[in-house]
Chains A and B, each alone.
Chain A
Amino acid sequence: MSGKHEMIRVRNLKKSFGEVEVLKDINLEVNKGEVVVLIGASGSGKSTLIRCINFLEIKNGGEILIEGNSIDPKKDDLSKIRQKVGMVFQHFNLFPHKTVLENVIEAPLIVRKANREEAKKEAMQLLKKVGLEEKANVYPSSLSGGQKQRVAIARALAMKPEIMLFDEPTSALDPELVGEVLETMKQLAKEGMTMIIVTHEMGFAKEVADWVAFMDSGRILELAAPEDIFNSPKEDRTREFLMRVL
């Protein structure tokens, strides 16, 4: 394990909604700079897993360690942890009453108590990075889905997270808008951002992922390098799933 810096470790994670067991005994390790893509049928628990890592869902059992520290959602300051772990949602969840720029500077101003001018300057750099600096002063309602998602990425990056979680970031987009969001994510991966991505974009997974985890009814059935998963899956269920989606 020399040279590897562990960012996230999930141990024996369990999560139920009422009677339904959504996550059964999940184990996952993500090191600094790695991109892990979660694939699997809908309902297999992919989204719930990354929502647990951000504590938007509270686990029923097991352990989540962020940089080696086991997090107790009842005792630990979740705000501190979430500042390290950015999240991008399927439906963007931009703040509709705030302009693009205001969306991006909101958390730095309120949480990090950043200086307004500095926060603006950083936000403009981030907007430039996602190719939307000319949209800084418009409201989200006038943006396309792809633009909204790129703003959402800039907004998450404004908190300077060490890890980024993506929950089906392109699933709500028109097909012709998927590319621009994936491009932004590829750029992030290249810069060495640690990422966990739930996606149905298999081409993207092949290209960008260090590891691909196939999830099936609440378990990680197979975890391997993308070429192994896509070319020679070990599990029948993985093969069946890939046959259907590829």
Chain B
Amino acid sequence: MPSISHLIEEFIRTFPFFLKPLLLTFELTFASVLVGTVIGLFIALLKVSRFSLAQMIANVYITVIRGTPLIVQIFVLYFGFYKVVDLGQFWSAALALAVHSGAYIAEIFRGAIQSIDKGQMEAGLSLGMSPAQTMRRIILPQALKRSIPPLGNQFILSLKESSLAAFIAMDELFSMARRLSAETFDEMTFFLIVAVYYLVIVMLFTYLVNKLEKRLAKGD
């Protein structure tokens, strides 16, 4: 076990090396959560629609994506899919993460949409609004608000899962930790250091989500 002072020394010494990977981890996470949210919303709307074909498509998507490991999905996109379109490292990883989290985000949105009292849809319809107008103007704004806590959770998961991009040679946080530990044979030190990076980001993010939740709760 490395001593605390050694850990701190190494943390400070290698800090400049971690800056670019840190940024890349952020970029990967934000890109994947953003695209994943769009995918998730679309799949959730298919799932709550009246049309059985749409429901089926959503169910197949969720079943396949949730039923296979993320690392396999990343490899399929990076090593397999490039024959069709070469996405490159970043978008292979970001899209795999997005497609993956999209399945979970779809379930978050579906749950939130279905948790809205059905009287809201009826009120919209009774005023002459179409089902789509009522969904967009009445149901979704309320459902999205309810989705924020579980979405924050999903963001944290995506952030940590982005470490898998190291396996397609992306220079994000975990990749840098692996490189430094291979160069110095001081594995424990650098894996602990990278753990601290993730932990601090997650704690910061949790704090921000909590603040956001409190602010949104004011309207209730």
Q: Does the CB pair A97–B125 fall under 8 Å?
A: no
Interface pair B129/A107, CB less than 8 Å apart: yes
Q: Is A89 an interface position by the 8 A CB rule?
A: yes
Q: Per-residue 0/1 for B114-141: is the Cβ within 8 Å of any A Cβ (1 yes, 0 no)?
A: 0001011011011111100100011001
| Interface size band for B | 10 to 19
B130 to chain A, nearest CB (A): 6
In the complex, whether B20 has a CB less than 8 A from a CB of chain A is no
- CB <8 Å contact, B128 and A79: yes
Of the candidates A82, A85, A93, the one having the most CB atoms from chain B within 10 angstroms of its own CB is A93
Q: Which of A56, A80, A139 contacts B128 (CB 8 A)?
A: A80
Contact among B119, B120, B127 with A159 in the assembled complex (CB-CB below 8 Å)? B127
In this assembly, does A1 line the interface, its C-beta being within 8 Å of a C-beta of chain B?
no
B119 touches A91 (CB 8 A): yes
In the complex, how many residue pairs between chain A and chain B have their CB atoms under 8 Å apart?
65
- CB-nearest residue of chain B relative to A90? B119
Pairwise interchain contact B119-A93, C-beta atoms closer than 8 A: yes
**B219 contacts the other chain (CB 8 A):** yes
B145 to chain A, nearest CB (A): 7
Most interface-central of B119, B125, B126, B219 (chain A CB within 10 A): B126
Contact with A along B74-115 (1 / 0, CB 8 A): 000000000000000000000000000000000000000000
B130, A97: Cβ atoms closer than 8 Å:
no
Give the distance in Å from the alpha carbon of A31 to the alpha carbon of B127 in the complex: 22
Complex CA gap A155/B138 in Å reads 14
| Residues of B participating in the A interface, judged by any CB pair closer than 8 Å | 117, 119-120, 122-123, 125-130, 133, 137-138, 141-142, 145, 219-220
Q: Which A residues are CB-close (under 8 A) to B123?
A: 89, 93-95, 152
Interface flag for A40 (CB, 8 Å)? no
Kindly state the separation between the CA atoms of A156 and B125 in the bound complex, as whole angstroms. Answer: 11
Q: How far is the CA of A78 from the CA of B124 in the complex (A)?
A: 12
B129 touches A111 (CB 8 A): yes
Number of chain A residues whose Cβ lies closer than 8 Å to a Cβ of chain B: 28
Chain A residues in the interface with B (C-beta under 8 A): 54, 56, 78-80, 82-83, 85-87, 89, 91, 93-97, 106-107, 110-112, 139, 141, 152, 155-156, 159
Chain B residues, CB < 8 A from A85: 126
Distance of A80 Cα from B129 Cα, bound (Å): 9
Can you give 25 A-B contacts (C-beta < 8 A)? A54-B126, A56-B122, A78-B125, A79-B130, A82-B125, A82-B127, A82-B128, A83-B128, A89-B119, A89-B122, A89-B123, A89-B126, A91-B117, A93-B119, A95-B120, A95-B123, A97-B141, A106-B127, A107-B127, A111-B127, A111-B129, A111-B133, A112-B128, A155-B127, A159-B128
Q: A96-B219, A111-B128 are in contact. List 15 more A-B contacts (CB 8 A).
A: A54-B126, A56-B122, A78-B125, A79-B128, A86-B127, A89-B119, A89-B122, A93-B119, A93-B122, A106-B137, A110-B137, A111-B129, A139-B219, A155-B127, A156-B127
A110 to B145, CA, bound (A): 22
A56–B130 CA distance with the chains assembled, in angstroms: 12
Known: A106-B137, A110-B137. A93 touches B117 (CB 8 A): yes
Kindly state the separation between the CA atoms of A83 and B115 in the bound complex, as whole angstroms: 27
